[in-house]
Amino acid sequence: MATIASDIETSSIADGGLSMGHLALHYGTPEDGPAAARLLQIAGLTETQMLPLPGGNFYRFVVAKGHFGRGDGIVYLSCLPEPQQKLIAAIHAALRVGTGDEHEAVVAYRAMMAQDFEASFHFGFLVESLEELEKMVLTLRDLAENDPVFKGRLNIGMNRARRGDVAVDARLDASPVFGEATRYAYGSAGVQVFVETDLIRAGQLGENMYLEFDYVFPDRHSHILSVVEL
């Protein structure tokens, strides 16, 4: 059963007085900016500003048009600042990242991420329509296979809902996307799509970003995002 931790003594902001504000993402080189921005547009975000800068475009996106003039629901996208590029390069050199002799900690980290897309830093969006989420996956798969800009730069994974809800199981079995999924979420009545891409640079090695897109079936009180099941 879900519980809500008591926050009476520790919270300085009243319930309802807080929302998710913004996420700052970075692409690796100025040339990657337009493709990274296109990926966010395909994922449903609306670009509200594009500021051309010598070191790479600066973009502002919102998750829904209602956030245009607000301070929440925002995703910023800009080029990695030079000091961070240098830090990543230094980490890579020290840990022999990308060579055949990577530090054992790098090998273990990669093994962990190969098992679970959301084991480390990632960001999740909630999608209202399963059909639109399926369409997004098909679009990204097509781009990853056929578009030179995206080829080799997207890795798409997914978890389907744990079995046990007849209607959910039937819908997902018939899905052009989730019907073939072999991985299961840590919960019921929802699905997760993961887009791993090096068009956006984040994570412990500064190599890629994991974006998550979830859908929750309506009228289920217990689902993947409300209760984690082991």
Query: Where do contacts with Fe ion occur on this chain (CB under 5 A)?
Result: 118, 124, 212
Nearer to Fe ion, 196 or 212 (CB): 212
In the complex, what is the shortest distance from the CB of residue 210 to Fe ion, in angstroms, rounded to a whole number?
8
Smallest distance from the beta carbon of 124 to Fe ion, in angstroms?
5
Q: Residue 173: CB partners within 8 Å, gap ≥ 6?
A: 179
Q: Which pair of tokens denotes residue 209? A: 């970003």
The neighbouring-strand residues paired with 74 are 22, 62
Alpha-carbon gap, residue 11 to 32, rounded angstroms: 41
Taking the least distance from each CB to Fe ion, the nearer of 28 and 190 is: 190
Residue number closest to Fe ion, CB atom: 118
Rg (C-alpha) for the chain, rounded Å, is: 19
58: how many CB neighbours lie within 10 A of its CB? 15
Q: In what order do the strands lie in the sheet with 123-126?
A: 123-126, 208-216, 190-202, 154-159
Nearest distance, CB of residue 12 and Fe ion, angstroms: 27
CB of 134 or CB of 212, closer to Fe ion? 212
Question: 59 - beta bridge partners?
Answer: 50, 77
Q: What is the DSSP letter of 65?
A: G
* Least Cβ distance, residue 122 to Fe ion (angstroms): 6
Tokens of 27: 């692409």
Minimum distance from residue 10 beta carbon to Fe ion (Å): 25
For Fe ion, the closer of residues 70 and 183 by Cβ is 183
Q: Measuring CA to CA, which residue among 75, 51, 54, 76 is closest to residue 64?
A: 75
CB of 40 to Fe ion, least distance (A): 18
Q: Going by C-beta distance under 8 Å and a sequence separation of 6 or more, which residues neighbour residue 20?
A: 72, 73
Closest to Fe ion by CB, 159 vs 175, is 159
Looking at the DSSP bridge assignments, the partners of residue 215 are: 191
